[in-house]
Structure 1
Amino acid sequence: MHPLVILVVGIVTIIGLIVVFRVHAFVALISSAFVVGLLATTLPASETGPATMRLGNAVSTVAIEFGNATGKFGIVIALASIIGTCMMESGAADRIVRALLRCLGERRAPAALTASGYILAIPVFFDTVFYLLVPLARSLYQRTQRRYLLSIMAIAAGGAITHTLVPPTPGPLVIAAQLQVDLGVMILMGILVAVPAAAVGLLFSAWVDRRMPVPMREVPGLKVMESLPEERLPPLLLSLLPILLPVLLISANTAVEAGMKQSTSNVQLEYIQPVFQLLGDPNFALFLAMIIAVAIYRKQKRATREQTLGMVETSLLSAGVIILITAAGGAFGAMLKAAQIGPAIEAHFAQLGGGGLAYLFLGFGISMVLKIAQGSSTVAMITTASMLGAMLTSPTSLGCHPVYLALAIGSGSLVGSWMNDSGFWIFAKMGGLTEVETLRSWTPLLAVLGCTGMIVTLILATLFPLVSIPS
């Protein structure tokens, strides 16, 4: 069977199971991986063996690739989940938000909320960040009686953009791995692209708020987190440390490795490179950050050993589902690669006259279509990266560093959020908005974020292709 036909069958399997049969994303991705493996004739003993042998071979290959993907992503996602929970429970997240509000003042409170969402969504899942910050938006409205919609849209603008562009959140983490992009490069470029996108999102939120004023309504079941006095919160620098430390260590390792490849005779870099290689390993960097976050949690909460273990267990339960989905996506990507999907896409795209930066539009468009079809940004990113990662795209064929393709895919996964997206309902229910109000605020906001991210990515890829930077 032609590889592109296998690709279509695989994607239809995912979308059909999720949208039509309401199957969990993990089951849909694994099922699609089995289907692709069964149809592929490039796996060992697949071309001539009977169907049962082909299926058995596909199942064993999927299991192996699932384990490989878990090894790549599992520890990082689990540690990031613990860090995020510790920051929420210890008051570290609250300290960061209060510092930003104090720094920018009440007049610029929406900008402070955007910055808070931007920072906190790097280690913390978006829904948790939104849950933390919505009470602040409600408190601001009670004092000013205006700009409620702007406040909650500002939170969404900051949180959504880093959630889809900056590791260690699952989507960008998987994209970086599938496209063989160094994690440090992905973090730095994701942060860089997310800044102007969040700023444009904030301006758009203000524009929508002026044309569609929405009053604050009561939200049944919404629990407001206890507001701790200042003296019970950890210091600001200590609160930021679990976020900044892994970013700095991973980025430093990336810089040292780039220096080593460009200068083979640098004795000083050769001496310190093993140290940075250890400290900058994503698993170890997140492990150090997790130790610090847990220490802050225990100190601030005066938590017992049993309470700490309970907190860690709760964090790992939420991380487990994400690990399963990302690992299933990794297995699906490996099966696409084994089915020779990449060369088929590349050859077909070349026949149509596509190449260079056009690959960025391809990644953006595929991710956007998958987002609209099945609702999940993470699944859209994983599936798109699996398809295009199978091409083993090099900077030579792209005309730029593969990180730009990763950012284009992440940006595309924001466009087209509507009622099949869990984020849509989190924004609507926690914000106290109707479905129509959400469609007129949340949906266009995410489209603006995604399109702005794509535009910034294209500009950077054109001006600074970074072809010489190792991926």
Structure 2
Amino acid sequence: MYSIFHTDYWPFVILLSSIGLVTLLISKWRFHPFIALVLAAVFVGLLSPALIAEEGLMAAFESPMEALGDMAGNIAWVIALAAIIGAAMMESGAAENIVNRLLKTMGEKQASLALMLAGFILSIPVFLDTVFFLLIPLGITLALKTGKDYVLYVTAIGGGAAITHSIVPPTPGPLIMAETMGLDLGIVILSGLFLGIFPAVLVILVGKRMNRKLNIPVRINLNASPVVAKKLSLSLSLAPIVLPIILIGTASLFEAISGRLPDWLALMGNKNTAMAAGTGLALYLWARSQNLGANALWSKIGKPLEIGGLIILITSAGGAYGAMIGQSGIGDAIKYATDGLDIHLVPLAWLIAAVLKTAQGSGTVAMISSAAIITALMGNNFDLPYHPVYLLMAMGFGSLFVSWMNDSAFWVVARMSGLTEQEALKTWTLLLAIISLAGMLQVWLLSWIVPLT
């Protein structure tokens, strides 16, 4: 038994069995993801002989809790603020204003492109399911008005939102990957925005092809939009999203160009400060648009904070699970297994995330866990010939493959757009699989052409 526990391949047993446990707990036995991920983290600790030998049996229980607290400390503020910004943009009419202006500017013939761009932009601070809730009524309205292109509108909205949700912070998955890998947040944001352009174009091309092949009617009734007393301009509508990106991006670019960062600029460009600035502006616009007093405004913030709190718990638990996987020795095991093999880390990072996503359904969990595995591998004095942001992007795209019945986003898209399970598999699942593969190939190619080192 001792030899089994201490074999070079034992960490693979830990990884695969823990993935199987998470899959069973979430998909089959319907455990809440927070509970499932904490139990999986403890499970990994109990199966890690080095940890038990050095710190004792209680370390299998204490280490995951410490890792959970560390992760929550890194991401709780940002995710909570992102939840508030998302709610404020919806309730103030800012999000709808962005969409309507895009439609007006680009015209009905380019409505799918406008919806895709809206999803792409809004999913930076707003969670994917919220963006889909927000935009699908517009897609339904357009389809009813024109009598065509419903599949195209659904795929444009979902595809655009899924891209930035997976590769552009401050959404939880990319944010935690950046924290885990120790990457500058500004570089990750700018890289994600750039690398999202090609997949975004692909969303429209694939959506149009699906639209020609599938004839799916509109089956959903619409709800009323929020009542807005004062309409916002387009610039003000965009400001809560643009302001944090400008602050963070400016600091990152200044440091990259000059090699130094003044304290005042570091403070402005800190993710916590930048997101607070965006949140303050979003709250002001929310209060202004609906003529809310301070008491009424703060009472409305409770709901998005509840949603954000749940996401913080799940994300932090995923971070704890990922941290325990990292301590299991998986980095050494992967290095040992691939020693002498010419395996590029970009497709390997994508594959790990893709397997985790397909197995247990959560893209965020897949990103968190794969980042911990890749970081453990890189920790062995691994000299990368390209910037590690490419690995982060590969894992982000991997977390889109495959979205099926064990993924909550699959059901959000299917139920909100009135698709059957088979129709959702033919549209949403296939679209994300194509984006995932194309995104990885793009990242792999660019890591050779523009290594950024």
TM-score, normalization: structure 2?
0.94
CA distance in 2, matches of 1:156, 1:168: 18
CA distance in 2, matches of 1:316, 1:395: 41
Of 396, 399, 402 in structure 1, the residue corresponding to residue 385 of structure 2 is: 399
1:183-332 maps to which residues of 2 (within 5 A)?
Answer: 183-219=185-221, 222-226=222-226, 232-261=230-259, 273-332=262-321
CA distance in 2, matches of 1:450, 1:364: 9
Of 341, 354, 369 in structure 1, the residue corresponding to residue 355 of structure 2 is: 369
* Counterpart contact for 1:118–1:158, Cα < 8 Å: yes
1:347 matched residue in structure 2: 336
Q: CA deviation at 1:147?
A: 0.9
1:39 matched residue in structure 2: 47
CA distance in 2, matches of 1:128, 1:233: 21
Residues 394 and 287 of structure 1, relative CA distance in 2, 3 Å threshold: farther
CA distance in 1, matches of 2:298, 2:410: 33
1:414-429 maps to which residues of 2 (within 5 A)?
Answer: 414-429=400-415
Local SS of the residue matching 2:405: coil
1:20 counterpart = 2:28: yes
- Aligned residue identity for 1:188: L
Residues 394 and 463 of structure 1, relative CA distance in 2, 3 Å threshold: farther
1:455 counterpart = 2:441: yes
- Aligned residue identity for 2:232: P
Local SS of the residue matching 1:391: helix
2:121 matched residue in structure 1: 119
* Counterpart contact for 1:395–1:401, Cα < 8 Å: no
- Aligned residue identity for 1:242: P
CA distance in 1, matches of 2:216, 2:27: 31
Residues 433 and 255 of structure 1, relative CA distance in 2, 3 Å threshold: same
Q: CA deviation at 1:413?
A: 1.2
1:21-170 maps to which residues of 2 (within 5 A)?
Answer: 21-43=29-51, 46-47=52-53, 53-54=56-57, 56-170=58-172
Structure 2 residues not aligned, in runs of 5+: none
Q: CA deviation at 1:235?
A: 1.2
CA distance in 1, matches of 2:149, 2:367: 33
TM-score, normalization: structure 1?
0.90
* Counterpart contact for 1:37–1:335, Cα < 8 Å: yes
- Aligned residue identity for 2:263: P
CA distance in 1, matches of 2:98, 2:278: 17
* Counterpart contact for 1:394–1:402, Cα < 8 Å: no
* Counterpart contact for 1:333–1:390, Cα < 8 Å: no
Q: CA deviation at 1:247?
A: 0.8
Structure 1 residues not aligned, in runs of 5+: 262-268
Q: CA deviation at 1:64?
A: 1.6
CA distance in 1, matches of 2:37, 2:137: 36
1:386 matched residue in structure 2: 372
Q: CA deviation at 1:96?
A: 0.9
Q: CA deviation at 1:395?
A: 9.9
Q: CA deviation at 1:396?
A: 5.9
Q: CA deviation at 1:42?
A: 2.8
- Aligned residue identity for 1:88: M
Residues 13 and 383 of structure 1, relative CA distance in 2, 3 Å threshold: same
Q: CA deviation at 1:38?
A: 2.0
CA distance in 2, matches of 1:235, 1:392: 47
1:333 counterpart = 2:322: yes
Residues 144 and 178 of structure 1, relative CA distance in 2, 3 Å threshold: same
Cα deviation, 1:144-188, whole Å, max 9, x if unaligned, reads 111111111111111111111111111111111122221111111
Cα deviation, 1:55-86, whole Å, max 9, x if unaligned, reads x2222222222111111111110011101110
1:359 matched residue in structure 2: 345
Q: What fraction of aligned residue pairs are identical, expressed as a percent?
A: 40
**Higher alpha-carbon deviation: 105-114 or 28-37:** 28-37
RMSD: 1.9
CA distance in 2, matches of 1:36, 1:427: 33
CA distance in 2, matches of 1:98, 1:419: 32
Local SS of the residue matching 1:362: helix
- Aligned residue identity for 1:234: L
CA distance in 2, matches of 1:448, 1:19: 24
Cα deviation, 1:336-376, whole Å, max 9, x if unaligned, reads 2333221221222224x044xx2111111121122222211
- Aligned residue identity for 2:140: R
2:18 matched residue in structure 1: 10
1:265 matched residue in structure 2: none
* Counterpart contact for 1:66–1:327, Cα < 8 Å: yes
- Aligned residue identity for 2:37: L
Structure 1 consecutive aligned stretches of length 4 or more whose deviation exceeds 4 Å:
393-396
CA distance in 1, matches of 2:430, 2:282: 36
Q: CA deviation at 1:260?
A: 4.4
Local SS of the residue matching 1:303: coil
- Aligned residue identity for 1:92: A
Q: CA deviation at 1:48?
A: 7.2
- Aligned residue identity for 1:225: S
- Aligned residue identity for 2:252: T
CA distance in 2, matches of 1:345, 1:460: 24
